[in-house]
Chains A and B, each alone.
Chain A
Amino acid sequence: MACGSLPFARNRMEHAAIFGWALLWFAFWGVVGGVITPQIYARKDLEISQASFGGAVIGAALGPFSLLPLWIATPKIDNRMIGVAGALVVGIFITAFALADPDNLCVANGEFVISQLANGIVIGIIYGLMALGLTLIFSILGVVSFAHGEFYMIGGMVTYFMTAEWLPGAPPIVGILASCVVTFSIGYIFERIFLRPLGSGQIERPGEYAILVTFGLAFFLQYFTQALASANPVKAQRFFPFPRTEIPLDSGSLLRTTPGNITILDTISIPNPRFTAALLALIMLAALLWFLYHTWTGKALRAVSQDRQAAAVAGINPNSMNTLAFSLGAMLAGLSGASLVQVFSWLPQVGIPAAARSFVIIVLGGMGSLPGAFLGGLVVGIVEAAGTGCVPDATRAAAYIPAYGMVILTLVLLLKPTGLFGREL
């Protein structure tokens, strides 16, 4: 989007021209590759499903030097080729940025880069957990829940109010469990009343109905929470303050912790709340995977997502799986909210950017793909961290955090609408 590129356009870069020309190079050869390659492949009667996307990536990588051989030899474009070309594009992008702005912290300071990367991965894990809930709902109900951000918001709110207002001094785990129960129940009730008729044919054009009714739920939940909890920002205490340790005990340590921070190898510094949140998210993820792959119910869920009719024939009730998937998805959003309420300050409106980010992630990962959602979460986390850390104008960089995700979304929609692991549309 034009708006998305604004932070790059006006900044204090030293040799902005280098970076500008690199972007122009990508855009020009990307378009040339994306448009001409499918025509050449079609003329030779070859498979063209990957040609547009592959051509664009290969064109952006080395321009005419890679496109001409491609057009002459017309090899089968496989994922490895696209992967190599994609890595080249990222490499050239980073080199161009480094040449253009040698004094930038992202270029000059290696420790900053590693730290920023680690923070991106840590926050990406939590984004991934939230998006996982959305993709779980999509894979089983075929519905994109527009109320996902509100479950995230409610998860955080319940955790905060439980540990800080209603039961002051309660251990955080009580708050987290309460948020699970609340979001699961809201998801359950909503699914039973409003989404159950989807499968029964009572409702014309179920897709449209689902979009609107979940959007209505989001509207309702947001103002319901605001009416109950007021619009003042709240923030929970950090859940588990670290003990003050150093491993090994002399200086130059491998691992040093203070109550608010953890430092690994003296370079990677991660604030405590983020670290705990990511750890929680990883535990949830492990539990979810165990549930999906090792219990009967989890296997039934996956069966329904693969083939509804066949699962029903095998004795699985698809309707109850719908309910379970929706409530579980809502609970996952609630959990990521519960683990992030100690990181960010919490308002009834926090759900909207979080939901928008989850949409980006599931489209990037491929709608309905569980590994895709997790990987997409990591990518978005890293891109946001890089965006906030590397864009020269810091205040602007912070204001445009949601825009980085949208740039990804636009590129994915242009180049590969099925996402990384998506099924064909």
Chain B
Amino acid sequence: MSRAVLYRVAGLVAVVILLALPLASAELDGLGPLVFNSYFMHLAITAFFYAILASSWSLLAGYAGQFSFGHMAFMAIGGYTTGLIGKFIRFTTAPTELCADIPLPGNWWLVILNARRVGTIDETCIDMAKTQTLPSGALIIFPPVWASIAMGLVMGATFGLLVGWLVLRLRSAYLALFTIGFSEILRAALSAEIPITEGQSGLELLPLFPSGINLFGQTFSDTSKIPPYYAMLLLFLLVMLLMTWLASSRFGLFIRAIREDEEAAAALGVNIVRYKVLVFVITSALAAAAGALQAHYIGIITPNILIILQMSLVIAMAVIGGLENIYAASVGALVITFALELLRTNIAIGPIRIDMSLWRLVFFGLLLMLTLRFQRNGLLFPLLERLNRAGIAEETVAMRDASN
């Protein structure tokens, strides 16, 4: 069996296991002795979320050599875009006359709500319109969740284009410098503009499937973990497919050529700025999509998703798994998400209590540095290498025997 086939079979088995995993969840009464509670399902969803971020960051950093510390900022842009759309936009069947009404074809109106003041009892214009101007029986509906998630993706790509265009013409250190500042600013702005973003108290979002969903003949409520599991898994698989295709196409060759030697790539006719910006836009959009989906799943989004810790974790996942391989990075993310949760328990050695919620982060920081220094391609690399080289010795012996 050739190695390519082996990898495909292994990948297929992994996908099937991931698809079948909810069958063993407590909601569906488990599979015999195997029962995953809803906490486990939640972890799995979070793990896919981080896997999307880590693998898209590895495409940006490991393949294209562009080190952005703003990946979480784009994730937050996605989440806040969909959140703000849900907060400020409604569709109605009659003009409200109190909000900003934009007529749409088919006797519908797109209504933009006003920002509420903080600290006083202050109704939104749609609440006032319900009692005052709207005729009874007029429908008020939220924008569909999938559409606002798509808008989040578009906003992520737009900001990615702006930042990329500004910074990617310069040396790679500038991108790192600028994006770290960009995400700090975004955090400051999201915390300060309380009338719009609700600041630290967080912006609430609709659940992913507001009125529940029917999957395989079974109805799931809006608090069930199984539909979000499949939504996030689907996004993860789509992202991996897209990135696999990108990495194996000319595009992948070009960005790796840029990473190795910009001047040489430019001399051979690669438009380096265009490809650098393009890979930045694509990965930013993917991060934004993951952020939007996760925000709807969690139901609330706060500026704290932008603290440097989150970015550091994504980097640690990608590096420890393997920066130059999107699969290794995603496996790293899956493993580390669970490992971080397992290590949360505090330890008491005699009178000394060790607060593991901090020391586990210290441990991962150290592991990140040591991995970079001594096992540059990630801790999975020796395994991959062994798989890749398996059978080579036998082949050599066989060739020697054949020639004798």
Instruction: Give A residues with C-beta under 8 Å from B.
Output: 1, 3-4, 6, 144, 146, 193-194, 197, 203-205, 207-209, 211-213, 215-224, 226-227, 349, 352-353, 355-356, 359-360, 363, 367, 395-396, 399-403, 405-406, 409-410, 413-414, 417, 425
The answer to whether B177 and A227 have CB atoms under 8 Å apart is no
Q: Pick from B184, B307, B359: contact of A227, CB below 8 A.
A: B359
Instruction: Name which residue of chain A comes closest to B318, CB basis.
Output: A212
Cα distance A402–B191 in the bound complex, in angstroms: 13
Question: In the bound complex, do residue A219 and residue B166 qualify as a contact, i.e. CB atoms below 8 Å apart?
Answer: no
A6-B177 contact in complex given A212-B67, A213-B372, A226-B358, C-beta closer than 8 Å: no
Bound complex: CA A417 to CA B177 (Å) = 13
Supplied contacts A144-B173, A194-B369, A400-B192, 4 more A-B pairs, CB within 8 Å: A212-B319, A216-B312, A367-B173, A400-B188
Q: Say whether, besides A223-B362, A399-B188, A409-B181, A215 and B69 are in contact (CB < 8 Å).
A: yes
| B166 near A414: Cβ-Cβ < 8 Å | yes
> In the complex, which residues of chain A have a beta carbon less than 8 angstroms from the beta carbon of B362?
220, 223-224, 227
Q: What is the predominant secondary structure among interface residues of chain B facing chain A?
A: helix
The interface residues of chain B lying within 8 Å CB-to-CB of A413 are 166-167, 170, 174, 178
A341-B260 Cα distance, complex, nearest whole Å: 43
Rounded to whole Å, the gap between the CB of A215 and the closest CB of chain B is 7
Contacts of B386 in A (CB 8 A): none
Residues of A within 8 A of B316 (CB): 216, 219
**Chain B residues, Cβ within 8 Å of A223:** 358-359, 361-362, 365
Is residue B97 within 8 Å, beta carbon to beta carbon, of the partner chain?
Answer: no
- Selected contact of B171 from candidates A3, A219, A222, A425, CB within 8 Å: A425
- In the assembled complex, which residues on chain B have CB atoms less than 8 Å from the CB atom of A425? 170-171
Residues of B within 8 A of A218 (CB): 308, 312
Q: How far is the CB of B117 from chain A (nearest CB, A)?
A: 13
Q: Can you list 21 A-B pairs with a CB-CB distance of less than 8 A?
A: A3-B186, A3-B188, A6-B193, A144-B177, A207-B173, A208-B61, A212-B67, A213-B373, A215-B69, A220-B362, A223-B358, A224-B365, A227-B355, A227-B358, A227-B359, A395-B192, A396-B192, A399-B192, A402-B188, A417-B169, A417-B174
Query: In the complex, A410 Cα to B166 Cα: how many Å?
Result: 8
> Please, how many angstroms separate the alpha-carbon atoms of A271 and B373 in the complex?
45
Task: A380 to B173: give the CA distance in the assembly, Å.
Answer: 21
Contact B181 A220 (CB under 8 A): no
Q: Which residues of A contact B285 (CB under 8 A)?
A: none
CB distance from B317 to the nearest CB of A (A): 12
Interchain Cβ contacts within 8 Å, total number? 141
Taken together as a complex, chains A and B put the C-alpha atoms of A406 and B69 apart, in Å, by 15
Determine the chain A residues whose CB is within 8 A of the CB of B31 once the complex forms.
none
State whether A211 touches B176 (Cβ < 8 A): yes
Q: Is B189 an interface residue (CB 8 A)?
A: yes
Contact between B312 and A219 (Cβ–Cβ < 8 Å)?
yes
Write the B355-394 contact mask toward A (1 if CB under 8 angstroms, else 0).
1001101101110110011001000000000000000000
Residue pair B361, A205 in contact (C-beta under 8 Å): no
A-B residue pairs, 5 tightest by C-beta: A220-B365, A399-B192, A227-B358, A216-B369, A216-B368
Q: Which one, A3, A6, A220, A226, contacts B366 given CB within 8 A?
A: A220
Chain B residues with Cβ below 8 Å from A207 are 172-173
Q: Does B36 contact A (CB under 8 A)?
A: no
For the complex, what is the distance from the CA of A197 to the CA of B174, rounded to whole Å? Answer: 23
- In the bound complex, how far is the Cα of B61 from the Cα of A414, in angstroms? 23
CA distance A216 to B67 in the complex (A): 13
- Rounded to whole Å, the gap between the CB of A296 and the closest CB of chain B is 31
| A213→B369 contact, CB < 8 A | yes
